[in-house]
Chain A
Amino acid sequence: MPHLNSAFNLARWLTRNEADAQDVVQEACLRAFKYFDGFDGQFANAWLLKIVRNTCFTWLKSNRPAEETLALDDNLEEVDRDENAIRLNASSLGRSPEAILIEKRDANRLDELIGRLPPVYREVLILREHEEMSYQDIAEIVGVPIGTVMSRLARGRKLLQSTWRGSKSKDVKP
């Protein structure tokens, strides 16, 4: 089931939770199946991912409202505000500092940093880097113009670059 793997990967990254991702993908598949008759046979993967993505954002809206509304404004001057939002976001994950420290030691740091990005950046990064989708396909899935895909990718990468380089340079110091 190659498409189901892509669907689950996207949902898992957006919900950041195994059980919720399963629920979202299941619901999306039911919806996809319901509208199967209207399916024109092209771009099956993009089509399923579009439904998964929309289901995820509906889920985020009711389950993580603070996160869902982050950084929807695609204005480059807003990056600073976004960075603050990410910090707020990380502290609102509801885990103790100790737990986060232990997790940091064990888990892949990059995973954590990507997880802290606002969902609108996370989704374009995952679609681009994991699914290797074209800007055109990503625009179709997310439902925004190609220019917005490019600006979100650029901002997501800039934010990730700064936190990733930061965490790497801390590593090398004793």
Chain B
Amino acid sequence: MNCSDAQNLLYRYLDRELDAVNAARLEAHLRDCRDCVGAYEREQELSFAIKQSAHRYGAPRALTDRIRRDLVPQESRPWAELRHLTRGWNPIALAASLMLAVAMSSTGTSYYLNGTAEDRVIADVVSSHVRSLMANHLTDVASSDNHTVKPWFTGKVDASPPAVNLVSAGFPLIGGRLDYVDQRPCAVLVYRHDAHVINVMVWSKRDDDQTGSESYTRQGYNLARFSANDLVFWAVSDLNRGELDDFVTRLKTEAEGNSTSL
């Protein structure tokens, strides 16, 4: 990516409107380019200044009263409707968002209601992956350095994931983040392979966790589970099965070797 491309993506990145792949490409460029980092920081500063210092005008009481007073005689509607208007339509907005939430999560819902514990975990892992690509929230800590990513998780989750960089095998580590999967906080390691993002959820093994190696495909995403040294790993990506298996094999080898040296 050159500086001109980066400048074109900067505002969308700032506004969290940039897709994960382009965000990762831009972040990679920002790590190397002081000019673009400077430009980004200036935009961030201005954005923050507008949010914090530009006057936010609240509706004056007199206006609220005027609207309430004027609406009643002109429109002899029931009070319930007036309340919608003057109290900000909260009931409608709430109902709409509930309907939307149900509509959007129908797949997840059916897993939650009818599926096994494993189905629940799979649904959560896929949701976490999709969510990380939709919002500009792929990483909380963006670094390819094991000594940056690994300590970052300390005190945040009860697992210390082996944040190994598999860059030589074509799977660079791009960072880590926190998420909530299967009713527990977990560490997420984020890797990239070409334009594909791989999320790896890691948590400490509980008694009811399945730990054997297993593969799944859900909603077009490939998933793989394995465990190493009392940690459970779930890898999820739109990578094809062969490449994901290759990644998982390498990560598992590193994870098993990594912990013995701790």
Bound: A22/B96 CA distance, A = 29
Residue A141 lies at the interface, judged by CB distance under 8 Å to chain B: no
Interface residue stretch chosen among A31-39, A54-62, A65-73, A86-94: A31-39
Q: What is the size, in residues, of chain A's interface with B at 8 Å between Cβ atoms?
A: 47
Given A9-B58, A111-B55, A130-B56, does the pair A4, B43 have CB atoms closer than 8 Å? no
Which residue of the partner chain B has the closest CB to A111?
A: B55
* A13→B63 contact, CB < 8 A: no
Interface residue ranges of A15-73 to B (CB < 8 Å): 18, 21-22, 25-26, 29-30, 32-34, 36, 39, 41-45, 48
B92, A44: Cβ atoms closer than 8 Å: yes
A1 interfacial contact with B, CB 8 Å:
yes
> Which residue in chain B gives the minimum CB-CB distance to A1?
B88
Instruction: Determine the chain A residues whose CB is within 8 A of the CB of B88 once the complex forms.
Output: 1-4, 44-45
Q: A42-B96, A45-B93 are in contact. Are A21 and B57 (CB under 8 A)?
A: yes
Task: Name the distance in Å between B142's Cβ and chain A's nearest Cβ.
Answer: 22
- Complex formed: what's the CA distance from A4 to B90 in Å? 12
Q: Is A153's CB within 8 Å of the partner chain B? A: yes
Whole-angstrom distance between the alpha carbons of A34 and B85 in the complex?
11
| Inter-chain contacts of A18 with B (CB < 8 A) | 60
Question: Interface digits, B43-67 against A, CB 8 Å rule (1 contact, 0 not)?
Answer: 1001101110111111110111011
Q: How far is the CB of A26 from chain B (nearest CB, A)?
A: 6
Q: How far is the CA of A2 from the CA of B89 in the complex (A)?
A: 9
> How far is B11's CA from A126's CA once the two chains are assembled, in angstroms?
15
Which segment, of A77-85, A95-103, A157-165, faces chain B? A157-165
Neighbouring B residues of A21 by C-beta, 8 Å: 57
Within 8 Å of chain A (Cβ to Cβ): is B250?
no
In the complex, are the beta carbons of B89 and A160 less than 8 A apart?
no
> Contact at B63–A110, with CB atoms within 8 Å?
no
Q: Given A32-B85, A44-B93, A114-B50, are A26 and B15 neighbors across the interface (CB < 8 Å)?
A: no
Bound state CA distance, A164 and B43, in angstroms? 11
Nearest CB of B to A130, in Å: 6
CB distance from A174 to the nearest CB of B (A): 24
B81: CB under 8 A from chain A? yes
List the count of A-B residue pairs having beta carbons below 8 Å apart: 115
Q: Are A8 and B11 in contact (CB under 8 A)?
A: no
Residue B169 CB within 8 A of the other chain: no
Query: Nearest CB to that of A25 among chain B residues?
Result: B63
A13 and B57 within 8 A (CB)? yes
Q: Name the segment of B23-31, B69-77, B111-119, B240-248 touching the other chain.
A: B69-77
**Known A1-B59, A5-B59; contact A114-B54, beta-carbon cutoff 8 A:** yes
A35–chain B nearest beta-carbon distance, Å: 11
- Which residues of the partner chain B approach A142 to less than 8 Å between Cβ atoms? none
Chain B residues near A135 (CB, 8 Å)? Answer: 15, 17
Instruction: Say which residue of B17, B50, B93 sits within 8 Å of A110 (CB atoms).
Output: B50
> Quick check: is B87 within 8 A (CB to CB) of the other chain?
yes
Known: A4-B88, A13-B57, A29-B85. A22 touches B63 (CB 8 A): yes
Are A8 and B58 interface neighbours, CB within 8 A?
A: yes
B259 within 8 A of A: no
The 7 lowest CB-CB distance pairs between A and B, nearest first, are A44-B89, A8-B59, A12-B57, A3-B88, A129-B50, A4-B59, A2-B88
- Since A9-B56, A114-B54 are in contact, a sample of 5 more A-B pairs with Cβ atoms closer than 8 Å, ordered by chain A residue number, is A1-B64, A3-B89, A42-B96, A125-B50, A129-B47
A-B contact pairs, 21 of them (CB 8 A): A1-B59, A1-B87, A4-B64, A5-B57, A7-B59, A8-B60, A36-B81, A39-B92, A41-B96, A42-B96, A44-B89, A44-B92, A48-B89, A110-B53, A111-B53, A111-B55, A129-B50, A129-B51, A130-B54, A153-B15, A154-B11
User: Residues on B close to A: CB < 8 A?
Assistant: 11-12, 15, 17, 42-43, 46-47, 49-51, 53-60, 62-64, 66-67, 70-71, 74-75, 77, 81, 84-90, 92-93, 95-96, 100
